Structure 1
Amino acid sequence: MIYPLPAVLVSCGTLQHPNAITIAWTGTICSKPPMCYISVRPERYSHHLIKETGDFVINLCDESMLEMLDWCGIHSGRKVDKFKEMNLSALRAVKVEAPLVKEALINIECKVKEIKTLGSHDMFIAEIVQVHSDRSLVDEKGKFQPLKAKWFVYNHDLYQTVGPEIGEYGFTHHLRKNSGE
């Protein structure tokens, strides 16, 4: 398996009947158009809700929300109202039926384009249709500052923090290979 992975809170259902599920099988799969995926077991309550509405929201949480995120991953929305139990606030999304989680630092509204049955999980391939970011993650010039948050990842049954920056994309551009290129 490939680790670490982001651990995210996916909200689904409707504003009137929200649900949330913890997902680690997620990521970006295309930039134009912006596309992502989540993989969910068919027996999960959220699987049914996402198929029904055709959308979901990926909510990125920081360390302060870790306990809530873990709790939402081990309890079923069939049996408990996770928003009520975890004191989460459901906000109306702009372009999807699924609610935003107010407490999350980033909310990514997604519309399902395709569902791939793969085995233990179904992969929901979705277009990102709207993104919301907490103002604390944007500088005075409007530039996104991801290192201002205390992010964490899922690493084979463990949660770990994300460390300091160690390089910037393209920092090796000045290096040449000895292959004659």
Structure 2
Amino acid sequence: MRRIGLEVLERVLYPVIPVVVTAEHQGRVGGMFAAWWMQASFTPPILAVAIAPERYTYKLVRESGVFAFNLLDFKLVDKAPFLGDVSERLLPGKIREAGLNIMRGEVLGAPLIAEASAAVELELVKVVEAGDHDVFLGEAKAVYTVDDFRGGMWSLETYRPLMYLGRTRRPGPVYRVYLTPRGWEKREIEFAGGKLKPLAEKRVRLISRVEEAVKASSNMEEAVDAVRRILYEEGLDPSDAEYLVEDALRRVKSYRREGQSRS
């Protein structure tokens, strides 16, 4: 082996089977692909997932205390940009925009993707800060699968797990690379391509504006007020301000740590 840079650690750990984390608050259903997840306990059955505060799903899970994991089949790979590249904050109803449907879990009433191959209803039990992400720990209350799962194991006769290999790098268009282990079929899908591109660009601009507002503020209250004004100008929900400020503060701290380590 040879030593490589820590900046590509994430890519070394791929491929992974990502889950779509779904949640609902005040009638708003959202979801996002999450590659950083794991089972953390047998008894009780605890699953964990890392989500950054800027993600709209972060707010939904925090506010509702109920969420779900959804596993998708590779046949749904074309839906991936809606789930991984754009925010529910900027595209309300993005799951339905992707052509997917929502069903309700039988125990917690959590929103599940009806076309998923498996889903788990989770009740939030703890949130642990971990750098620029928080780790959400949820106790599984119910699990649902298609018929391919039987005898305590996937038969993989019809289910083709959707796996994620990472993004290509600039210059040039950025593609997310997905694959499935059955024959190792591979697809490259342009990041936020087509009609999703303006929404992805708007999200980048919003994050940049928020970060600049946080840097220019002398305290938390001032930062939140400034970001509320930005959200209002963008036609977005001002109540998201605290989450966006928290995300920006962590990124600013990260930049400072990087600068100190290089000096």
Q: TM-score range by the shorter chain?
A: 0.7 to 0.9
Corresponding residue of 2:18: 7
Instruction: Specify the code of the residue in structure 1 equivalent to 2:89.
Output: R
- Looking at structure 1, the residues matched to 152 and 38 of structure 2 have their Cα atoms a distance apart, in angstroms, of 22
8 Å contact kept, 2:148–2:155: no
| Structure 1 runs not aligned, ≥5 long | 165-181
Please state how far the C-alpha of 1:61 moved relative to its aligned partner: 0.3
- Looking at structure 2, the residues matched to 74 and 29 of structure 1 have their Cα atoms a distance apart, in angstroms, of 27
Corresponding residue of 2:52: 41
Please state how far the C-alpha of 1:114 moved relative to its aligned partner: 0.7
Instruction: Specify the code of the residue in structure 1 equivalent to 2:44.
Output: P
Shift of the 146–57 alpha-carbon distance from structure 1 to 2, 3 Å rule, reads: farther
8 Å contact kept, 1:6–1:26: no
The CA deviation string for residues 29-65 of structure 1, in whole angstroms up to 9 with x for no partner, is 1122211111111011110110001121100001011
Corresponding residue of 1:79: 90
- Aligned: 1:160 with 2:171: no
Please state how far the C-alpha of 1:136 moved relative to its aligned partner: 3.6
- Bigger Rg over Cα: 2
Corresponding residue of 2:123: 111
| Structure 2 runs not aligned, ≥5 long | 1-8, 168-176, 184-263
8 Å contact kept, 2:30–2:94: yes
Identity of aligned residues (%): 27
SS at 1:69's partner residue?
helix
8 Å contact kept, 1:109–1:131: yes
In terms of fraction of residues, the more helix-rich structure is 2
Corresponding residue of 1:145: 154
Higher RCO structure (Cα 8 Å, ≥6 apart): 1
Q: How many residues align?
A: 161
SS at 1:72's partner residue?
helix
Runs (4+) of structure 1 exceeding 6 A deviation are: none
- Looking at structure 2, the residues matched to 93 and 118 of structure 1 have their Cα atoms a distance apart, in angstroms, of 29
The CA deviation string for residues 126-177 of structure 1, in whole angstroms up to 9 with x for no partner, is 1111001112433xxx55434231113222333222258xxxxxxxxxxxxx
- Looking at structure 2, the residues matched to 4 and 38 of structure 1 have their Cα atoms a distance apart, in angstroms, of 16
Corresponding residue of 1:176: none
Instruction: Specify the code of the residue in structure 2 equivalent to 1:56.
Output: F
- Looking at structure 1, the residues matched to 24 and 164 of structure 2 have their Cα atoms a distance apart, in angstroms, of 25
Corresponding residue of 2:241: none
Corresponding residue of 1:131: 143
Shift of the 143–125 alpha-carbon distance from structure 1 to 2, 3 Å rule, reads: closer
Corresponding residue of 2:28: 17
Instruction: Specify the code of the residue in structure 2 equivalent to 1:82.
Output: K
State the TM-score, normalizing by the size of structure 1.
0.80
SS at 1:84's partner residue?
helix
In terms of fraction of residues, the more strand-rich structure is 1
Corresponding residue of 1:174: none
